[in-house]
Amino acid sequence: MEKPTIDLIFQVALCVDDLESVVEQWKELFDLDTATIVRKCTKDAYESDGWDGLNYNEAPCQFFHKYCRFSLGGLDIEIIEPLDKAPGNPYSDFLIQHGNGIHHIGVKVGGQKFLMKEMQERGIPRYNY
């Protein structure tokens, strides 16, 4: 059986209930180049060009979140806060179940089509795309 490879780990993404507070804590703890911190909000994209969210557990789902990204130790660090903390989107559900923490790790996968097929056969839904 062919197995997919992890070619690169490029991102660690945190889900938090207060993005501004967490970013301030990271700035206090680490020597961050604050000029490289990128801040965005998906609601702005919705209001400017109609972007309407993603899918969640393989079903359309409109949700908005704010996030920031910066480089630290050669990794892209992403910190995400859902705008709506009610259940029903990948970020609020994560916070409700786990509290602040690592939400996902970005990886470049070799053999991605095989991996997707294998996950589907095992009944593992695409979480967010």
Range of the domain at 61: 5-121
Kindly tell me if the per-residue pLDDT of 41 is higher than 80.
yes
Total-model pTM? 0.86
Domain count, the chain: 1
Residue 49 included in any domain: yes
Residue 87 included in any domain: yes
Number of C-beta neighbours around residue 76 at 10 A: 14
Residues 101-123 have pLDDT tens digits of 999 999 998 988 888 888 889 98
Residue 66 included in any domain: yes
Between residues 124 and 95, the one the model is more confident about? 95
**What CATH code is carried by the domain that includes residue 24?**
3.10.180.10
Q: Is there a contact between 61 and 89 (Cβ–Cβ < 8 Å)?
A: yes
